[in-house]
Amino acid sequence: MILQQKLEDEIRKLPEGWIMLLETTAEDSMEVTLTALKILTGSDYEGIIISASRPYNNLAQIYKQNGIDVGKLHFIDCISSAYSKPDKGNDRVVYVDNVASLTDLSVAINNMIQEVTGKKFIFIDSITTMLIHNKPEVFVKFVHSVLTKMRVHSISGLLISLEVEMDKSIKAEITQLCDKVVKVGNF
């Protein structure tokens, strides 16, 4: 409840089209994710989830078990295709070959931004995982590009960053691109 209140307070202070970097620990990241998604889907947002950490099937199951309305969510799954042939019958999910396919991911994001109508947010889980699979300088430009498109379309965003060893300059550059940094969890 404290976490939920803290996130709600921080979001309320920001202008529409806000982009927040949520810094947390690996142990706390799921709780933080679920809390943030409950807040956003509980209001009038539709969400686009970019997952670099878990496959769609697993995420959808966890979200449902925790009372999150997955009917308000769309997914870009960067994991499943690398390990199996995913079922492409679900129009709420787009599969990208792998986390390093940033061009494909960028196209998928652009398409979803057009498809999802109304007030929306983009949730990236997590930039730390994505950075492991990409060249840092390329990844910064990718994040800059995605955030600029979000800002042009007044789309809000949450970026999850795990508190692990990470290139200081890359982290600082990504942090600067966000409107607010919120640290949550047991550091």
Partner 1 sequence: MRKTVSKRSTHPKLRIMMVTPSADYFEWGAAMVKMLTDAGRSGVYVSFHRPFENVVKVLKHYGVNTNKLFFVDVATGVTGTKIKKNLKCVHVPKADPVLIDNAVHKLLKKLNGTKFIFVDSLTLHSFYKPVSETKRLSKLLIERIDNEHANYIVFNVASELADLGFIKSLSKDVDEVIVMPQKTG
Query: Is residue 146 exposed (0-12), middle (13-18) or buried (19+ Cβ within 10 Å)?
Result: buried
Q: Is 113 helix (H, G, I), strand (E, B) or coil?
A: helix
Does residue 134 contact residue 105 with C-beta atoms inside 8 Å?
no
Using rule CB under 8 A, residue 176 touches partner 1: yes
Does residue 7 contact residue 184 with C-beta atoms inside 8 Å?
yes
Q: Which is nearer to partner 1, 34 or 146 (CB)?
A: 146
CA 70 to chain centre: 15
Q: Which is nearer to partner 1, 44 or 137 (CB)?
A: 137
Q: Which is nearer to partner 1, 132 or 172 (CB)?
A: 172
Task: Pick the binder of partner 1 from 38, 92, 119, 144 (CB under 8 A).
Answer: 144
Using rule CB under 8 A, residue 103 touches partner 1: no
Shortest Å, Cβ 94 to partner 1: 20
**CA contacts within 13 A on the Cβ side of 165:** 0
Residue ranges that bind partner 1, judged by CB under 8 A: 15, 17, 137, 140-141, 144-145, 148-149, 151-152, 168-169, 171-173, 175-177, 179-181, 183
